[in-house]
A and B are shown apart, each in its own frame.
Chain A
Amino acid sequence: MNKLLKYEFRATLRLYLPLYLVMLGFAVLGRFSLWGVPWQVTVGEDLVGWTNLSVSVTGEGIGSEILAFLLSMVLVGNVLVLLGALVVHFVITLQRFWKNLMGDEGYLMFTLPVSTGELLWSKALCAFFWGIATSLMVLLSVLILAWHPLLVQGVKQELSTIPPEDWQLILRMLQNVLPPVAWPILAVEFVANNIGSLFLLYSAMAIGHTVKNHKVLASVGAYAVLTMIVGTVASTIISLVLPLMAGVPQDIQLNSLSELILFSYQMGRFMTGVWAVALVIDLLCAVGAFFLARYLLTTQLNLE
């Protein structure tokens, strides 16, 4: 398994490294473009009392209009690059499975002395890692692009208006809504959901590959059907379990501070139950999709 992961990371690193360099390059380029523009920042208050930061290009006439247009193009370009990065990650995930296992390379991969389950896990774990890495890179790019002393100053100014007793209340409510017991549930649910989604994709491609012609189209169709089945199973379980769960907030009245805290506590209990149910559903789907993919790749495999 470690050897498979080593080669999978090596094969994907050469694809992700240029992608991340392009993302960072565009973010830095956008950042310098923004710095070069004569900014005008106005600080005011909107109708509900929130601080309103208004950013615009100073000056008048055709020059400033062109500048504003170019600025908006840089921002749109950056947004497109970031969205494109997520699309590229998705394409690489599909391509690594399709080309490396379902294509000619499959003749090598499926004759290595490893189990089909190990092949599936190596692909899924690697894709999961790169999914997180790509999301972090998107976040980093946005920070590079948007981080500005004036924005930081505005946020600080806004936060300083909240009195200390309100901070304590906010923290208490956050603890109620997200109790410590919910954290591991959410963490495992996040992993199960992502890995399960990958196994579902792999199952769909394995089904599509069993068809003689139009394998890609068949894979897309199989994915739609599998998603519908998962959705139906999930909604059935939720509709059965939800009425049985204690702590569903009802007749909510938020007239006092104690009622607000009680509500956050009830919401926390309720949501922890919901996440626990979601975890069970995600685990069921992940296990089901894994065994379906493993069965198809073991017994129905027919490389051309």
Chain B
Amino acid sequence: MERSEARREGPVLECRQLSKIYGAVRALDQVDLAVQRGRIVGLLGPNGSGKTTLIKTAAGLLTPSAGEMLVCGRQPGAATKGLVSYLPERTYLSDWMRVEDILCLFRDFYSDFDLQKAEEMLFRLDIHRMDRLRTMSKGTREKVQLILVMSRRAELYLLDEPIGGVDPAAREFILGTIIGNYSEDAAVVISTHLIRDVEQVLDDVIFLAYGHVGLSAPVEELREEKGKSIDELFREMYRC
């Protein structure tokens, strides 16, 4: 799909009656939602609420059981994968690779990859082109992965638990990298259950629990209307 064609009116990500069923479990149950351009959206929910399923479906890793999902107006496939920059929970980089190899891979496959930007960010972290991923700590590999993902000028960034399991200093780096590097006409979806840490960077929130959308609204509107932070609101709604 041509990038100019993708840049049109309408949501970047849209779900219409989207369901995903694993055996007897309904991970997503008739979900309707839309994510607009230029917004940073928090996909918030407890563990097992369907956040990862929703993100994986948008990334083209899962096929919906029913309903429809559209990315830039198209069903997820090879064409939309060139528009989506996806950061999974897992580290997907091969251990044997050097930083240089993975940079070349991203440059070869993604036409929107900004090699210079990636190199600058890696340099600031004192990571060199010839460093092998095998020799890096898990945290450093996650940072490399985040840099690769955020060095793309994508239409939609899907970040699955980017701050899960990292120390507060790393959280600051990760959120700073996200805010400082995403394209302004793109949308960013951040899935997390660590609401307090991401609250300050979000424009909109989607509360997801048991495969259902409980709430979808702009952050400022919610704060003014309810007189509570998003974290407090979430705790109140999904108290065990």
Residues in chain A near residue B109, CB distance under 8 A: 3, 112-114
Residue of B nearest to A99 (CB): B94
- With A104-B92, A105-B92 as given contacts, are A111 and B63 in contact (CB-CB < 8 Å)? no
Q: Is A298 an interface residue (CB 8 A)?
A: yes
A107, CB-defined interface residue at 8 Å: yes
List B residues 48-84 near A (Cβ within 8 Å): 56, 59-63, 77-79, 81-82, 84
A298 and B92 CA atoms in complex are apart in Å by 19
Given contacts A14-B96, A299-B63, contact A113 B81 (CB under 8 A): yes
- Min C-beta distance of A11 to chain B, whole Å: 7
Q: Is the interface of B mostly helix, strand, loop or mixed?
A: loop
Q: Are B90 and A104 neighbours in the complex by a CB distance under 8 Å?
A: yes
A279 to B222, CA, bound (A): 67
- Which of B60, B82, B91 is within 8 Å of A110, CB to CB? B60
A206 to chain B, nearest CB (A): 14
A19 at interface by CB-CB < 8 Å: no
Q: Which residues, 101 to 121 on B, are CB-close (under 8 Å) to A?
A: 101, 105, 108-110
Q: Tell whether, in the assembled complex, residue A107 and residue B61 are in contact, meaning their CB atoms are under 8 Å apart.
A: yes
CB atoms of A303 and B82 under 8 A apart: no
Please count how many residues in chain B sit with their CB below 8 Å of the partner chain's CB atoms.
26
CA distance A113 to B105 in the complex (A): 12
B112 smallest CB distance to A (angstroms):
10
Q: Is B194's beta carbon under 8 Å from chain A?
A: no
Type the 1/0 row for B144-182, where 1 means its CB is closer than 8 Å to any CB of A: 000000000000000000000000000000000000000
Q: Encode contact with B along A286-303: 1 for CB under 8 Å, 0 otherwise.
A: 000000000000111111
Closest to A112 in B: B109
Task: Say whether A108 faces chain B, with CB atoms less than 8 Å apart.
Answer: yes
Assess A107 versus B105: contact at CB under 8 Å? Given A113-B79, A301-B61: no
Contact between chains at A298 and B90 (CB < 8 Å): no
Instruction: Name the distance in Å between B230's Cβ and chain A's nearest Cβ.
Output: 28
Chain B proximity mask over A5-17: 1 for CB below 8 Å, otherwise 0? 0110011001000
| Assembled-state Cα–Cα distance A146/B110 (Å) | 51
- Count of A-B residue pairs with CB < 8 Å: 55
Give B101's nearest chain A residue, CB to CB: A10
Contact of A302 among B22, B79, B88 (CB under 8 A): B22
Q: Does B93 contact A (CB under 8 A)?
A: yes
B82 contacts which chain A residues (CB < 8 A)?
113
Residues of B within 8 A of A11 (CB): 94, 96
Across the interface, do A114 and B105 meet the contact criterion of CB distance under 8 Å?
A: no
Question: Who on chain A is nearest to B79 by CB?
Answer: A113
Question: Do A110 and B78 contact each other (CB < 8 Å), given the known contacts A104-B92, A105-B92?
Answer: no
Question: Are B92 and A3 touching (Cβ within 8 A)?
Answer: no
Between B59, B84, B93, B94, the greatest number of chain A beta carbons within 10 A of the residue's beta carbon is seen for B94
User: How far, in angstroms, from A200 to B108 measured CA to CA in the complex?
Assistant: 30
Quick one: which of B15-65 are within 8 Å of A by CB? 22, 56, 59-63
Nearest-CB residue, chain B, relative to A14: B96
Bound-state CA distance A114–B82 (Å) is: 9
List the A residue with the shortest CB-CB distance to B80: A113
User: In the complex, which residues of chain A have a beta carbon less than 8 angstroms from the beta carbon of B207?
Assistant: none
- Tell me the complex Cα distance, A115–B77, Å: 8
Kindly identify which residue among B59, B78, B88, B96 contacts A114, using a CB–CB cutoff of 8 Å.
B78
Minimum C-beta distance from A1 to chain B (A) = 12
Within A49-108, the residues touching B (CB, 8 Å) are: 100, 104-108
Residues of chain B within 8 A (CB-CB) of A104 are 90-92
Selected from B78, B84, B96, B110, the residue in CB contact (under 8 A) with A115 is B78
Q: Name B108's closest neighbour in chain A (CB-CB).
A: A3
Give complex CA distance A107, B91 in Å.
Answer: 9
Roughly how many angstroms separate A107 CA and B109 CA in the complex, as a whole number?
15
Question: Which of A10, A104, A111, A298 has most chain B Cβ within 10 Å?
Answer: A111
A110 to B78, CA, bound (A): 9
CB neighbours of B93 from chain A (8 A): 105, 108
Q: Could you tell me the distance in whole angstroms from the C-beta of B198 to the nearest C-beta in chain A? A: 22
Which chain B residue shows the least CB distance to A6? B108
Q: Are A113 and B61 in contact, with the CB atoms below 8 A? A: no
Given contacts A108-B93, A111-B84, A303-B56, 4 further A-B contacts (CB under 8 A): A107-B61, A107-B90, A112-B109, A301-B62
List 7 A-B residue pairs with CB atoms under 8 Å apart, sorted by A's residue number. Answer: A10-B101, A107-B88, A111-B81, A112-B81, A113-B109, A300-B63, A302-B22
Q: Which residues of B contact A (CB under 8 A)?
A: 22, 56, 59-63, 77-79, 81-82, 84, 86, 88, 90-94, 96, 101, 105, 108-110
